[in-house]
Structures are given as structure tokens and as C-alpha cells.
């Protein structure tokens, strides 16, 4: 059966039309941001430079794409419509008369829909893994920088140990199918996921030590919520059945957090060593505040600028790591629509067809670029203050 094609202009219009929820959401958010620019602090200042605007727009674009993926995508990302095998961009599917905007790949799946759904995987795992890495890095980096001495020596040695591993080797060792039969990923998950709970408990404890009414409420909430998520993620035994993660997704998640926490640790440690010489830290010490109060409520808020910038860059870097995992076929399911896997599949057939390769590469590149631009203009803005 012959597949009919629509022209290039129709493809462009079709793509723009499919993204309508994104344009709508972007218009609302950007309109509101411009209107209330002066009251939005650091975020509002981003709109002063063209680089900042570009960064915000690109990041929001992918965020909304991930949120509205099911509306935007034309087809199910896993559906194989045999007649469309290797169809070029603009092919019309005979049964439903819907257009394969970016063509079909070698397994006759819609490239456009796969790209759209791929953003979901990236935008869930990358920020979440970065958040966990930040928690781990902060909780360990603060004492290492503040106390120095033996604590610092041991923690730095461990961090350097992980950093000396080439990332790819680490992934090959930690994200193999065999390792899921051993307790190692669960042990690492159990170790790393406890840090956010510790972090928030200490955070509230140091602040509200003398106000039991609030302290017990906050501590209780932290332990309840944290424990719930913890049980769901690590043991997959969520009593309510809401928090659930596939074993291989957990494995990827753990590997990515493991690979990026030492970097955060190093940055936090350096910042702490710098900030602890300031006068307000000395003042807090004279007031007789506990070391952890000083670390969490005096040093950490003053280190937020570089940390926010680093978090932006790190989400981008995590996206690249996820792509690497997909490219080497580690961890993610072979039919998963994430960008790395799509690039791997398409790059093997570049000699015959190039159209399945371009959408995921450009998607990944633009998202990371958006985050880097955002980080760059955040850095400029925080330097201005």
C-alpha cells in the first residue's frame, strides 16, 4: 500500500498546532511573569536579559510538553503501524488519516509522539535525581566543610573515589540486568534516600528546638511523608500503593544520584569553607548556636546562589547522563521512548534514514541548552547583587 505525504509547510503547521497546550500555557505563564516581574525576585530578574528569557522559554516549553504529552502526541509511542515502516516525515496514516509529522522509525512507530513522550521520562528522572543528589551533597558537604579535620578527610576521600571512576564504567558496573538480582541497588537506594529525611529532620530540629508545638508537628510530618515515600521507593511496599517505581528505573535513578552527589558535595564543601570565615557565622558562634544550626540556617541560605546555578547545570548534566544510559542500552527498556534510546536506535541506521535521529537529538540538545542558558543568566544576576 502506498503512503501519501503532506508537504513541508503542512508539517510545520501541524507541529505548531499539535503543541497548542504548550503555547497556551507558555503565554499565560510568560504574561503573568512579565506583569509581575518586579515582585518575583530572582526569577523576575531573569526577564531582564535575552539569554535569561531564552532559557526560561526553552525550559518551560519542555516542562509543558511533558505535562501535556498525552494531548500533544498524535499516536501512542509504542504503537507499531506496520504500513508506516520507515515512512518519511509527513506520511499520512491510511486508517485514521492522521499525519506522522516526523515520520516513522524502523519499527513503524511515530517519531513525533515518541519525542513528546520521551520528555516525560527525562523531566521526571533528571530533576528528581538532582534533588536527591543535592540533599546528599548538602547533608555531607556542610559538616565536611564546617568541621574540617578527619570528617572532611574521610568524606572527601570517598567523594574523590567516586569521581575518579569514569562515569561510563560506573554505569556499566551499576546498571546491568544482573545486578537487579542482588541487594546492591536497594542498599544504595536505602542509604541515599534516607538523606532527605535526615536533612529535613535536622533542619526543623535546629530551628524549632524550643517550640515543641511546631517541632513535633513538622518532625512528625517529615517522618510520615518521608517514610511513606522511602518505603515505596526502596522496598516497593507502599501500603497505599501510590508510590511505586520499577526495579530498573530505581536502578537508573540510584546510579545517576550516585554519580552526581560527589560533585554537589565538593561544591557545598568549598562554599562552606569560604562562608564559615564570615562575620555572621562568628556572631552566631558567639551567640552559642549549635553547629548544625549555623550550617543549615546561617551558611546554607548564603550559599543558595551558586547552588541554584549548579542545580540548573546539574539537571542538564543528568539529562546527558540519562541519554548516555539510553545510548548504551543500559537500564531503560529497549522500547522506551526516551531520547537516549531513540538516538541509539536511529544512529545505527543513519546511512539509510536520518529523520528518526534528528528529533530526539535536537530535543535533548535544546533542553540542556535551555538549562545552561538559565544557569548562565542566573549566575550573572546573582553576581550583580
Rounded to a whole number of angstroms, the minimum distance from the CB of residue 52 to another protein is 12
189/357 with CB nearer another protein: 357
**Smallest distance from the beta carbon of 181 to another protein, in angstroms?**
5
What is the C-alpha separation between 144 and 179, in angstroms, rounded? 31
Report yes or no: 100 and 86 within 8 Å, Cβ to Cβ.
no
- Note the Cα 224 to chain centre separation in Å: 25
Smallest gap from Cβ 347 to another protein, in A, equals: 5
Choose between 11 and 167: whose C-beta lies nearer to another protein.
167
Of 18 and 269, CB closest to another protein: 269
Supply the minimum distance, in Å, between the C-beta of residue 137 and another protein.
18
Q: Report the nearest approach of another protein to the CB of residue 61 (Å).
A: 15
Q: Which is nearer to another protein, 299 or 357 (CB)?
A: 357
Nearest to 234 by CA among 286, 196, 270, 262: 196
Q: How far is the CB of 343 from another protein (least distance, A)?
A: 6
Based on CB atoms, which residue is closest to another protein, 157 or 213? 157
Q: Which is nearer to another protein, 297 or 327 (CB)?
A: 327
Give strand pairing partners of 92. Answer: 4, 99
Are the C-beta atoms of residues 15 and 358 closer than 8 Å to each other?
no
* Alpha-carbon dihedral sign for residues 345, 350, 355, 361: positive
Half-sphere exposure of 188 (CA within 13 A, CB side): 21
CB-nearer residue toward another protein: 80 or 324? 324
Nearer to another protein, 316 or 337 (CB): 316
Please report how close the Cβ of residue 364 comes to another protein at its closest, in angstroms.
Answer: 6
Residues at the contact surface with another protein, assessed by CB under 8 A = 51, 157, 160-161, 163-169, 172-174, 176-179, 181-182, 184, 316, 320, 323-324, 327-328, 340, 343-344, 346-347, 350-351, 354, 357-358, 361, 364-365, 368-369, 371-373, 376
Beginning with the edge strand found earlier in the chain, give each strand of the sheet holding 4-5 in spatial order.
Answer: 4-5, 91-92, 99-100
What phi and psi values does residue 30 have, to the nearest 5 degrees? -65, -40
Task: State the minimum distance, in angstroms, from the CB of residue 312 to another protein.
Answer: 12
State the nearest-atom distance from the C-beta of 321 to another protein, in Å: 9
Q: What is d(CA 233, CA 252) in angstroms, rounded to the nearest whole number? A: 13
Please name the residue ranges forming H helices in the chain.
Answer: 8-18, 20-35, 41-45, 50-67, 69-72, 111-147, 149-163, 167-174, 184-192, 194-207, 212-230, 247-275, 279-287, 291-293, 300-302, 304-327, 339-347, 358-384
Residue 206 or 361 having the CB closest to another protein: 361
| Integer Cα distance of 148 and 277 in angstroms | 13
Task: Output 14 or 356, the one with its CB closest to another protein.
Answer: 356
Instruction: Please give the distance of CA 257 from its chain centroid, rounded to a whole number.
Output: 10
State the Cα torsion 297-299-301-304 to the nearest 10°: -150
- The Cα-based distances of 251 to 24, 176, 188, 254, 331 in angstroms read 36, 9, 9, 5, 7
Supply the minimum distance, in Å, between the C-beta of residue 318 and another protein: 12
Amino acid at each position: 500500500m502506498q503512503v501519501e505525504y503532506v508537504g513541508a509547510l503542512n508539517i510545520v503547521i501541524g507541529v505548531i498546532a499539535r503543541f497548542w497546550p504548550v503555547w497556551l500555557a507558555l503565554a499565560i505563564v510568560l504574561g503573568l511573569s512579565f506583569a509581575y516581574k518586579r515582585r518575583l525576585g530572582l526569577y523576575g530578574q531573569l526577564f531582564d536579559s535575552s539569554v535569561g528569557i531564552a532559557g526560561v522559554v526553552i525550559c518551560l516549553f519542555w516542562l509543558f510538553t511533558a505535562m501535556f504529552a498525552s494531548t500533544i502526541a498524535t499516536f501512542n509511542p509504542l504503537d507499531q503501524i506496520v504500513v508506516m515502516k520507515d515512512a518519511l516525515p509527513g506520511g499520512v496514516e491510511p486508517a485514521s488519516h492522521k499525519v506522522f509529522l516526523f515520520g516513522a522509525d524502523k519499527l513503524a512507530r511515530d517519531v513525533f509522539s515518541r519525542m513528546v513522550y520521551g520528555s516525560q521520562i527525562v523531566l521526571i528522572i533528571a530533576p528528581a535525581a538532582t534533588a536527591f543528589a543535592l540533599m546528599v551533597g548538602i547533608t555531607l558537604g556542610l559538616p565536611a566543610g564546617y568541621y574540617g579535620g578527619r570528617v572532611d578527610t574521610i568524606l572527601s576521600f570517598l567523594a574523590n573515589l567516586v569521581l575518579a571512576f569514569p562515569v561510563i564504567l560506573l554505569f556499566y558496573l551499576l546498571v546491568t540486568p544482573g545486578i537487579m538480582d542482588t541487594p546492591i541497588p536497594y542498599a544504595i537506594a536505602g542509604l541515599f534516600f534516607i538523606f532527605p529525611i535526615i536533612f529535613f529532620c535536622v533542619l526543623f530540629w535546629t530551628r524549632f528546638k524550643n517550640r515543641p508545638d511546631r517541632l513535633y508537628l513538622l518532625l512528625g510530618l517529615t517522618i510520615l511523608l518521608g517514610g511513606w515515600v522511602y518505603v515505596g521507593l526502596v522496598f516497593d511496599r507502599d501500603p497505599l500503593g501510590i508510590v511505586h517505581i520499577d526495579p530498573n528505573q530505581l536502578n537508573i535513578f540510584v546510579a545517576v544520584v550516585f554519580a552526581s552527589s560527589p560533585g554537589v558535595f565538593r561544591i557545598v564543601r568549598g562554599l562552606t569553607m569560604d562562608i564559615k570565615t564570615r562575620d555572621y557565622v562568628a556572631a552566631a558562634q558567639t551567640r552559642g548556636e549549635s553547629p548544625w544550626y549555623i550550617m543549615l540556617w546561617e551558611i546554607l541560605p548564603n550559599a543558595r546562589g551558586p547552588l541554584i546555578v549548579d542545580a540548573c547545570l546539574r539537571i542538564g548534566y543528568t539529562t546527558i547522563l540519562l541519554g548516555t544510559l539510553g545510548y548504551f542500552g543500559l537500564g531503560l527498556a529497549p522500547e522506551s521512548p526516551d531520547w537516549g534510546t531513540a538516538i541509539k536506535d536511529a544512529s545505527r541506521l543513519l546511512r539509510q534514514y536520518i529523520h528518526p535521529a534528528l528529533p530526539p537529538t535536537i530535543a535533548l540538545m535544546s533542553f540542556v541548552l535551555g538549562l545552561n542558558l538559565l544557569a548562565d543568566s542566573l549566575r550573572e544576576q546573582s553576581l550583580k547583587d
